[in-house]
Amino acid sequence: MTTQLDLTGLRCPLPVIRLEAAMRKAEPGAVIIASADDPIARVDIPHAARQAGFSCEETAESTNSTYVFRVIAPQR
């Protein structure tokens, strides 16, 4: 299952708070595609994901400075 999470327009700490809520609901192996435009999110989102045991990779940066992350729930 893939969930799209639009975090654009939100500033720290809201992108991480919303991601953490989505991660708590995620089933094993679920994928969360998170988009954020807060520059701090480029550091905070991967850190929060890894701290929760999820894998995270930045997949793209658009021309309007939106960062896109692929966050994957661990297989339990």
Measured CA to CA, the distance from residue 20 to residue 60 in angstroms comes to 21
Backbone angles phi, psi at 27, to 5 degrees: -85, 160
For residues 66 and 35, the answer to whether their CB atoms sit within 8 Å is yes
**Residue 72 pLDDT level (bands cut at 50, 70, 90):** very high
Enumerate domains of the chain plus CATH numbers: 2-59 (3.30.110.40)
Q: Report the pLDDT value the prediction gives residue 65, as an integer from 0 to 100.
A: 86
> CA of 37: how far to CAs of 14, 40, 45, in Å?
12, 9, 11
As a whole-number percent, the residues of the chain with pLDDT over 70 amount to 96
pLDDT at 42 over 80: yes
pTM (two decimals): 0.92
Q: Sheet harboring 2-6: ordered strands across?
A: 2-6, 31-36, 67-72, 55-61
